[in-house]
Every structure is written in structure tokens, then in C-alpha cells.
């Protein structure tokens, strides 16, 4: 029945709208169903310190396996969820699920120092995230510094004053904040000064040519120095090779994350990975 209706819809819209509009409408229906059934799953990717090489944190990344289409990457559905006002619901599911997981790891004395959660700009602008985070703190009762929120500069472009208020509030609640994808987009150095952040995540695009592009090396080294002078720690993301790791250690980057260590894994797999990697 759904299939037939789906076909009808296709025929109806194809005369009037472009294919991409139809696809967006279709995707937003799919997202609604996925939210209602809560079928999203969180995967976790290790963040490792460069000095002793120990695990310091995990980044939580949303995964969606649709029963018809299979894996649908976040880059495909998050922009549509944002556009159609569905991101608020997704974000709540994500945060609740990660807090529950962290609570379970803490209870088993198995928790890394922190777990990162990506925040989309929408929640920061609308500020509905604050009362929700108060509820989460109350519900799960663990030290807030276990959670680090990752934000991007795009949030600031939308409504600087509101976003700054929200971030200061999040910080006052005891959570940590990092600036994700630094070096892409507008990358205002001023954000490093005004945002209440603890860490900066260097975008993975820097690493693509890190070994044979001297200009790129100068930029990366200068950004790391600048961050350190501002008392910010630096995470390099997208580290895939041993020589990238060696270079990043050499120039004093604090933490690294990437396929070199592990791709994002579900909670059971990541617990197993941690046990095998660090407690053999
Ligand atoms: P991001 O926060 O910058 O996350 C890093 C992305 O790089 C992830 O892609 C991760 O799987 C990928 N990655 C990690 N290591 C490597 C590597 O060594 N090489 C390469 N080429 N890629 C690597 P993913 O999971 O597809 O997520 C894409 C983006 O979607 C994220 O970028 C983030 O902006 C957003 N996102 C993912 N999960 C969530 C979520 O739960 N909430 C929100 N609001 N956004 C999310
Ligand atoms: Mg991130
Ligand atoms: Mg990133
Ligand atoms: Mg990104």
C-alpha cells in the first residue's frame, strides 16, 4: 500500500517539481518514520592522545539503516532534517541515547574521559536545547565533563548573540565544547577568542595534502601554535596513515582521530575494540 501511494506521489510531483524536491519530500517522510520508530543507532570513534597514545574520548556519530535503502549517511539526511524542522527530534534521541550509553560505561567503570556529541546549529539558535540538557543531567546523574559538544562555525553565522548565549549556558552547566571542522567555511580566528570552547578539531581536509604541501604544513603548524597560546587543545580528524600520525606528533598536536585507529563502531564493538587495544 505504501509503495502504491509512493508511486502516485512520484507521478504527481514529477510534473510540477524537480527531482530533487521530490526526493527531499520523500526523505523527510522517511525521516519522520525513522524518528517515530527510533531506529537511529549511535556509533563511536576513538580519539587518541598523541603523547602516551592512550584513548581519551569517543565521538558519537549517528547511523541510520533504512529497511529498503540500507545505510543512509548523515550527510544525506541531516541537511534535509534541518530544513524540515526535524533535527530537534533527532538531536533529542541522539543525546538521550549517548547519555544512557555513557552512564552504562561509567557504571561498568569502562568510560573514556569524554564522549563527543555533534550539535546542529538549529538547536543552538533556538535555545530549546538548554532545558533539555538540564533534564538529561538530572536523569543520568554523571559528571557533565564526560560530555563534549561539537559545534561548527556555521552556527555563528546564523545568529551570533543567541548562539553565544546558548554556548555559555552549556559551558556553565559543566559540559565541554569543541569547535568542529576548523579550517573549512569561514574560519574566523575571532571565534577562537569569543567562543567558550576547550578544543579545536582541525578539519580532515588539511590532512589530505599534509605530507607534500609546505604551505599547508605552515598553516597547520601555525593553527596548532595559536590554539596552544589560547589554551585550546587540538584534535586532528581524518588521520588515516602512520606518517600523518608521526607528523602530527612531531608538530605537537594533542589528539588524533581517524581510520588509522578505527572507523566508528557500534557500542558493543567499541567496548570490544577498547578492551583488545588497551587491555590485552
Ligand atoms: P564530523 O562531526 O566532522 O564527523 C567526522 C566524519 O568523518 C564522520 O563522518 C566520520 O565517520 C568521518 N571520518 C572519521 N575518520 C575518518 C578518516 O580517517 N577518513 C575519512 N575520510 N573520514 C573519517 P559521518 O559519520 O559520515 O558524519 C558526517 C557528518 O555528519 C559529521 O561530521 C557531522 O557533522 C554530522 N553528524 C554525524 N552524526 C551526527 C549527529 O549525531 N548529530 C549531528 N547534529 N550531526 C551529526
Ligand atoms: Mg564532529
Ligand atoms: Mg569534523
Ligand atoms: Mg564535518
pLDDT (mean) for 216-233: 95
Task: Look at 10-24, 45-59, 132-146, 159-173 and tell me which has the smallest mean pLDDT.
Answer: 10-24
Model confidence pLDDT, tens digit, residues 236-271: 999 999 999 999 999 999 999 999 999 999 999 999
- pLDDT band at residue 10, thresholds of 50, 70 and 90? very low
Q: What is the DSSP string of 210-271?
A: TTT-HHHHHHHHHHHHHHHHTT-EEEEE---SHHHHHHHHHTT--EEESTTT---EEHHHHH
Q: Which long-range contacts (CB under 8 A, 24 or more apart) does 203-209 make?
A: 203/237, 203/238, 204/237, 204/238, 204/258, 205/238, 206/236, 207/236, 207/237, 207/238, 207/239, 207/240, 207/244, 207/258
Residue 16: pLDDT band by 50, 70, 90 thresholds?
A: low
Q: With a 6 A CB cut-off, is 98 part of the ligand 1 pocket? A: no
State residue 19 phi and psi, 5-degree precision.
Answer: -60, -40
The C-alpha cell at 129 is 536545547
Shortest-distance atom of ligand 1 to CA 43: 25
pLDDT exceeds 60 at position 5: no
Is pLDDT at 55 greater than 60 in this prediction?
yes
- Grid cell at residue 45: 570513534
Residue 8 has pLDDT above 50, yes or no: no
**Regarding predicted confidence, which is higher, 102 or 277?**
102
CA of 61 to the centre of ligand 1 (A): 6
Instruction: Point out the ligand nearest to the CA of residue 208.
Output: 1
Percentage above 70 pLDDT, the chain: 92
Cβ–Cβ < 8 Å for 144, 115 = no
Residue bearing the CA closest to ligand 1, atom 41: 62
- Reported as a single tens digit per residue, the pLDDT across 103-119 is 999 999 888 889 999 99
Cα of 42 vs centre of ligand 3, distance in Å, is 16
Question: What number does the ligand 1 atom closest to the CA of 94 have?
Answer: 41
What is the ipTM, given to two decimal places? 0.98
**Pocket flag, ligand 1, residue 97 (CB < 6 Å):** no
Return mean pLDDT, the chain. Answer: 90
Q: How confident is the model at residue 280 (pLDDT cuts 50, 70, 90)?
A: low
* Residue 61 Cβ < 6 Å to ligand 1: yes
Higher pLDDT, 206 or 201: 201
Amino acid at each position: 500500500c505504501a509503495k502504491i501511494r509512493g508511486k502516485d506521489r512520484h507521478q504527481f510531483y514529477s510534473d510540477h517539481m524537480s527531482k530533487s524536491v521530490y526526493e527531499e519530500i520523500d526523505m523527510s517522510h522517511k525521516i519522520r518514520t525513522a524518528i517515530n520508530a527510533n531506529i537511529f543507532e549511535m556509533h563511536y570513534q576513538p580519539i587518541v592522545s598523541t603523547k602516551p597514545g592512550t584513548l581519551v574520548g569517543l565521538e558519537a556519530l549517528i547511523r541510520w539503516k533504512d529497511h529498503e535503502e540500507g545505510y543512509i549517511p548523515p550527510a544525506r539526511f541531516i541537511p534535509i532534517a534541518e530544513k524540515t524542522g526535524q533535527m530537534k527530534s533527532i538531536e533529542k534521541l541522539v543525546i538521550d541515547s549517548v547519555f544512557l550509553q555513557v552512564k552504562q560505561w561509567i557504571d561498568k567503570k569502562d568510560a573514556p574521559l569524554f564522549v563527543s556529541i555533534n550539535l546542529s546549529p538549529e538547536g543552538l539558535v533556538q535555545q530549546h536545547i538548554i532545558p533539555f540538557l538540564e533534564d538529561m543531567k538530572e536523569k543520568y546523574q554523571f559528571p557533565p565533563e564526560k560530555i563534549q559538544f561539537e559545534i561548527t562555525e556555521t552556527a555563528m553565522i546564523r545568529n551570533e548573540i543567541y548562539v553565544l548565549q546558548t554556548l555559555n549556558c552549556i559551558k556553565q552547566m559543566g559540559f565541554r565544547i569543541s569547535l568542529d571542522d576548523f579550517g573549512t567555511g569561514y574560519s574566523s580566528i575571532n571565534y577562537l577568542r569569543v567562543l567558550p570552547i576547550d578544543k579545536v578539531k582541525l578539519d580532515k581536509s588539511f590532512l589530505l595534502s599534509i605530507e607534500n604541501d609546505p604551505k599547508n604544513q605552515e598553516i597547520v603548524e601555525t593553527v596548532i601554535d595559536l590554539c596552544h597560546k589560547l589554551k585550546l587543545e587540538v584534535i586532528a580528524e581524518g588521520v588515516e596513515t602512520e606518517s600523518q600520525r608521526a607528523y602530527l606528533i612531531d608538530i605537537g598536536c594533542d589528539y588524533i582521530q581517524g581510520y588509522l585507529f578505527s572507523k566508528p563502531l557500534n557500542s558493543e564493538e567499541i567496548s570490544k575494540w577498547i578492551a583488545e587495544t588497551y587491555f590485552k
